[in-house]
Amino acid sequence: MLDSFKYKLSAGVEIINYPQHMDMYKQFLKPIADYEKEPNLIDPEKAFVPEMFVIEHFAKEFYEKSGQTLHVKLCVTGPIELYVRKHQFTIYYDLALNMAKSINSFLKNSMLNSKYLNTAVISIDEPSLGYMDIMNINNADLIKIFDASLDGIKRKNNTTQIHIHTLNRADIPLNSKNIDVLTCEYAADNSNKIAKKTLDSYDKFIRVGITRTNIDNIIAEILDRGDSWEHLQIYDGMMDLIDSKETIKKNLLTALEMYGERLKFVGPDCGLGGWLHPQIAYELLHRTQKVISEVRKISH
């Protein structure tokens, strides 16, 4: 786990998401089931993200050697994503609210802040929102559920975020009082955008993905063109799957033009787990960071 974290650090990632080697559903659903006080409501003392505490030990050693504070993102699977995984698509408000309260406990117990580690971003992961049809619940109750998962989380030195893969249901997080930042997988789908004036009117910000990470789709496109598969199974061939610096730069400049001061974060799209060779994932992160640094120098 620490090797993955160190790869991200050496690649120049400025706010590093903890590696998330554990299953995104079982990591939360199993302890909730094991320590349930009510349906979907965990004993708050049993809710924590183990990987954050592993990073805490590393951050202390890193600070003692370098004098630098590590800035990390704490990302947990969101209440609706977990609810649907456990109960399917008919949402009962009280059960979903308990799930949100459980997620809130995971977050509060795992937000680590010290002179050597700063939990700078807290994110709830709702990748299916906007793709799936959920029943028996209205928008106002969905907003309450998301807000409950982030209740008491916002601080002066952190940012709250909802990680979504499509902006089709952006109306939900836009109306949340506890969510600062929306995300979008722009590199994989350039139609995935929202009007800046909408962000202005709700006082929200956005994170834009500027480098593709959906490796299965990238490979499928290559095969659809009639190219062979063999060269993609070796290191140099896999390197060719990473977006070029020119493509990444184009996406970044477009995002800057679209959103201006409402653009809070940029980086790759979601999901480097499919890039099985860690060095390839490192190169993707490093290439993205180099483009960001180059554009930042020009802008200043």
pLDDT tens digits, one per residue of 54-80:
999 999 999 999 999 999 999 999 999
User: CB atoms < 10 A from the CB of 203, how many?
Assistant: 9
pLDDT band at 262 (very low <50, low <70, confident <90, very high): very high
User: Which amino acid, one-letter code, is at 64?
Assistant: E
Tokens of 95: 């059960």
* Closest alpha carbon to 91 in 138, 126, 125: 138
State residue 230's pLDDT score.
66
Q: What are phi and psi of 60, to 5 degrees?
A: -65, -45
Strands 70-77 and 16-17: parallel
> Which stretches does DSSP call E strand in the chain?
16-17, 36-38, 41-42, 70-77, 117-125, 159-163, 181-184, 205-211, 263-268
Q: The tokens 């836009």 sit on which residue?
A: 174
Distance of alpha carbon 143 from alpha carbon 172, whole angstroms = 6
Distance of alpha carbon 219 from alpha carbon 215, whole angstroms = 6
State residue 236's pLDDT score.
63
For 254-265, what is the mean pLDDT?
Answer: 97
Tokens of 82: 């977990």
User: CB atoms < 10 A from the CB of 10, how many?
Assistant: 11
Residue 238 has pLDDT above 80, yes or no: no
State residue 22's pLDDT score.
82
Non-local (6+) Cβ contacts of 69 within 8 A are 59, 63, 115, 116, 117, 118
Q: What is the largest CA-CA distance in the chain?
A: 56
Strands 36-38 and 41-42: antiparallel
Domains defined for the chain, CATH in brackets: 2-214+244-299 (3.20.20.210)
DSSP state of 183: E
State residue 111's pLDDT score.
96
State residue 300's pLDDT score.
62
